Amino acid sequence: MTLTSHRQHKIYLAATMGYGLGSDDPEEIAYYKKVKEEINKDKENRSLGIPRED
């Protein structure tokens, strides 16, 4: 069973807002972990704006 776009969006919102998933479906858990990993990776490698040239 594949996740519907509606369910993917709800999982994405839960991951970005820091909520737990509350589901035992392995497919949903895998998608939640994937989103959380991408968020953490982006957080570590983010650009903090335009570098100053003083």
pLDDT tens digit sequence for 4-54: 999 999 999 999 998 998 889 999 999 999 999 988 888 887 766 677 787
pLDDT, residue 2, reads 87
Q: Residue 45 has what pLDDT?
A: 77
Round to whole Å and give the CA distance between 22 and 29: 9
In angstroms, the CA 5 to CA 34 distance is 15
What does pTM read for this prediction? Answer: 0.75
Return the pLDDT at 42: 80
* CA–CA dist 37, 50 (Å, integer): 25
DSSP state at residue 3: P
Question: What's CA 46's distance to the chain center, in Å?
Answer: 15
